[in-house]
Amino acid sequence: MNKTILIVEDDNDICRLLTGVLNAQGYIIESAHNGVDGLLMAKTRDYALILLDLMLPLKTGEEVLRSLRESKNTPVIVLSARDSVYSRIQLLRLGADDYLTKPFDIDELALRVAAVLRRLQPDFGKCDRLQFRDILIDNSAKRVFVSDHEVILTAMEYAILEVMLEHPGQIFSKARLFETVCREDYISGDNTIHVHISNIRKKLGSVSDSEYIETVYGMGYRLIDAPENA
């Protein structure tokens, strides 16, 4: 498995600290100290994960993330001094997989990195391909297609859609999806899953006029069966 992590951080002390901690966990670290270099490296090389600061010279973290998501779904954990629900939701909508507020606990960072990467490791017994209506998931390549059109999803979005396709007749509560995908306890009121579901709907809708996910009021989300006359 690829264990190379890109750190995009202009603070040399923080960059050295992160490098030391993650090296000790067995990861290979590369770094960039401004948004332009970080985006170039992120787009032209394959990384297991990217740690992305927001307040970067030359190009902001938001700009880097927005541009990266046009072509790649590399997992991104955002590091920011901004601590607000609005900022977190906006970053999730841009395609961030997780978010940590500075100053952060080093042990928590290591756990978040491990959790995001764990979501990418194929479990034994998983089907190589999952199909629901005209959605096809290729698990071996981690790619999603709708009627032969590829849809680029983030790691979190991919994991959510994969779980739903594995159990097409079930209703998934926000708590169940969160705990299944993130392998962490769900905190009541957390809006993470809602934002990711919204992103998935938009991306599927960009290549198809069909609806695939419905909200079941008071219960959660489920896949929509094809209309009988379709």
pLDDT, tens digit, for every residue of 79-136?
987 766 657 788 888 899 888 888 888 888 888 888 788 766 544 345 678 899 999 9
Question: Comparing 8-17, 123-132, 192-201, which segment has the lowest mean pLDDT?
Answer: 123-132
Q: Exposed, middle or buried: residue 20 (CB in 10 Å: 0-12, 13-18, 19+)?
A: exposed
- Which has more confidence, 226 or 52? 52
Q: Which of 160, 144, 140, 141 is CA-nearest to residue 152?
A: 144
User: Region 196-201: what's the mean pLDDT?
Assistant: 95
- CB of 108 within 8 A of CB of 121? no
26: left (phi over 0), alpha (psi -120 to 50) or beta: left
Q: How far is CA 213 from CA 7, 112, 161, in A?
A: 35, 28, 10
The pLDDT, as a whole number, for residue 123 is: 47
What average pLDDT does the chain have?
Answer: 87
Give 72's strand partners. none
Task: State yes or no: pLDDT of 160 exceeds 60.
Answer: yes
| Residue 121 dihedral angles phi and psi, to the nearest 5° | -80, 120
Sign of the CA dihedral with 71 first, then 115, 205, and 90 last: negative
Q: What percentage of the chain exceeds 70 in pLDDT?
A: 90
Distance between CA atoms of 206 and 202, rounded to whole angstroms? 6
The pLDDT, as a whole number, for residue 111 is: 80
Any residues with CB less than 8 A from the CB of 81 and at least 6 apart, and which?
54, 55, 101, 102
The pLDDT, as a whole number, for residue 228 is: 46
Distance between CA atoms of 129 and 25, rounded to whole angstroms? 32
Task: State yes or no: pLDDT of 18 exceeds 60.
Answer: yes
Q: What is the pTM of this model?
A: 0.61
Alpha helices per DSSP H over the chain: 12-24, 35-44, 61-68, 85-94, 106-118, 155-166, 174-182, 192-205
The pLDDT, as a whole number, for residue 1 is: 60
Collapse the DSSP code of 174 into the 3-class scheme (helix H, G, I; strand E, B; otherwise coil) and give the result. Answer: helix
Q: At 170, is the pLDDT very low, low, confident or very high (cuts 50, 70, 90)?
A: confident
170: left (phi over 0), alpha (psi -120 to 50) or beta: beta
Any residues with CB less than 8 A from the CB of 202 and at least 6 apart, and which?
none
User: Region 207-226: what's the mean pLDDT?
Assistant: 91
